[in-house]
């Protein structure tokens, strides 16, 4: 899915959802809306994957009808959300009845450092180079996350992933 396909899907959602609906994207679709060059196969959004609310159930149903893969992601269960994350969500646009936001870039970045895949590190380089996040601030959030590692299932190599990111930026 590219930028045009994503915009088309969000427009179709906005036509079918109730007024003042809000969707907060994470993952590849969020990065596409921030200008990222990479394609994505699905649309991840902040939500409960076990007990989705009514709006999220509607989004899932509409996506299924349109043959678009969407997934609610309870990001707060995977990583300790950095302080101030709600205030850093980026408003993108209104698509009919749907207000679309990109989740806090530092929350996205922390989840990508945690996972540490090659594509995640490429996404992190993009976020830093486009000034969506600051490396020093991200390092602080990673250190804070490591101190809470037992409450969250953080990858044991998260600090090595951070080092790999720093080496890619040199």
Report the distance separating Cα 79 and Cα 158, nearest Å.
12
Nearest to residue 71, comparing CAs of 121, 155, 1? 1
Nearest one of 119, 11, 118, 23 to 70, comparing CA atoms: 23
pLDDT score of 100: 98
Q: What is the pTM of this model?
A: 0.93
Give residue 153's pLDDT band: very low, low, confident or very high (50, 70, 90).
confident
For 13-24, the pLDDT digits (tens) are: 999 999 999 999
Average pLDDT score over the chain = 96
- Is 67's pLDDT higher than 90? yes
23-49 pLDDT, tens per residue?
999 999 999 999 998 899 999 999 999
For residue 152, the SS3 value is: coil
Q: How far, in Å, CA of 58 to CA of 169, rounded?
A: 41
Q: What was the pLDDT predicted at 15?
A: 97
Residue 155 to residues 24, 41, 88, 92, 121: CA-CA distances in angstroms? Answer: 24, 24, 25, 31, 14
Summarize the confidence of residues 48-54 as an average pLDDT.
95
Give the pLDDT score at 49: 93
pLDDT at 11 over 90: yes
- Counting beta carbons within 10 angstroms of the beta carbon of residue 86, is it exposed (0 to 12), middle (13 to 18) or buried (19 or more)? exposed
């Amino acid at each position: 899915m590219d930028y045009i396909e994503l915009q088309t899907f969000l427009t179709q959602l906005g036509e079918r959802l109730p007024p003042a609906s809000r969707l907060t994207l994470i993952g590849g679709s969020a990065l596409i809306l921030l200008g990222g060059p990479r394609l994505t196969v699905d649309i991840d959004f902040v939500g409960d994957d076990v007990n989705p609310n009514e709006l999220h159930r509607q989004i899932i149903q509409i996506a299924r009808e349109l043959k678009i893969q969407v997934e609610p992601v309870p990001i707060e269960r995977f990583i300790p959300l950095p302080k101030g994350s709600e205030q850093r969500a980026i408003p993108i646009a209104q698509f009919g009845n749907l207000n679309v936001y990109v989740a806090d870039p530092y929350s996205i970045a922390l989840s990508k450092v945690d996972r540490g895949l090659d594509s995640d590190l490429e996404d992190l380089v993009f976020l830093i180079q486009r000034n969506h996040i600051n490396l020093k601030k991200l390092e602080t959030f990673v250190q804070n996350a490591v101190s809470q590692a037992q409450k969250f299932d953080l990858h044991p190599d998260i600090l090595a992933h951070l080092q790999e990111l720093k080496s890619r930026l040199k």
